[in-house]
Each structure stands twice: as structure tokens, then as C-alpha cells.
Amino acid sequence: MNGTKREKIKQGIKVRVVQKQHQRSGKLTEGVVQKILTNSSTHPHGIKVMLESGIVGRVEEILD
């Protein structure tokens, strides 16, 4: 499932995000959502979140 719709992303779910510096390579980082940073209901590149590890990135995949 992709992460372009804010309604599908909740705190505490496991996701894979792409960090800003990895957008060209597409390297994904897995983690648990701590905070949703995007205010709009959708975003074409993925909803921006902060993981519990402190990493900020756009959701590429929802794992839960």
C-alpha cells in the first residue's frame, strides 16, 4: 500500500520511508510513525512523517 493518503497513516503503524537525501537512490528506511508532518489530505510524493527513531521522510509503503 502506498503512502499518498493521510487517512491511511496513523501513529504507531510500521512504514517504509524515503529520506530527502535518498530520494534519487530510492533507499528505504523502515520504522514506526511517531508524528505526521504533512497537513494536507494527500501528497503525490508521499505523506511526510517522523519515525520513532527521529528520521523524517515521505511514506513509500505502509506495512501494517
Residue 26 in 3-state DSSP? coil
Quote the pTM value.
0.93
Please say if the pLDDT value at position 36 is more than 80: yes
Is the Cβ–Cβ distance between 38 and 48 less than 8 Å? yes
> d(Cα 42, Cα 6) in Å, to the nearest integer?
6
The whole-chain average pLDDT of the chain stands at 96
> d(Cα 39, Cα 18) in Å, to the nearest integer?
18
For residue 64, the model assigns a pLDDT of 79
Angle at 24 between CA 20 and CA 28, to 5 degrees: 65
> d(Cα 1, Cα 53) in Å, to the nearest integer?
22
Q: pLDDT per residue over 39-61, tens digit each? A: 999 999 999 999 999 999 999 99
